[in-house]
Amino acid sequence: MIIGLAACECIIYDAHSLKEKRAVLQRIISRLKQKYNISVSEVDYQDVWQRTKIAIVAVSSAKKYTELELDNALKYIDSFPEIERTITDIEWL
């Protein structure tokens, strides 16, 4: 069993309040959960308007499947024009 964790810091340039930031994040997180077999959560910068850190976790029997699922989820985040992924750290457990 392989567990993959991708922690990515992101910037939401057009968020001018926590309410706007959370609206963007909720949409992205809910779509990620619907589309991929992963767990997703905001793990840092909850009280900052334009910055966030999202953790994505995937589990499977082989590293290549876990890696594929995480890569697809990260590419999906990149497809949203309102958010920019900056720093991404991937860990294997």
pLDDT of residue 59: 96
State mean pLDDT over 11-30.
Answer: 94
pLDDT of residue 77: 96
Residue 44 confidence class, pLDDT cut points 50, 70, 90? very high
**Which has the closest alpha carbon to 52: 76, 29, 81?**
29
Q: With contact defined as beta carbons under 8 Å apart, do 40 and 56 qualify?
A: yes
Write out pLDDT tens, residues 76-93.
Answer: 999 999 999 999 999 999
Statement: the pTM of the whole predicted model exceeds 0.85: yes
CA angle 72, 29, 27 (to 5 degrees): 115
pLDDT of residue 8: 97
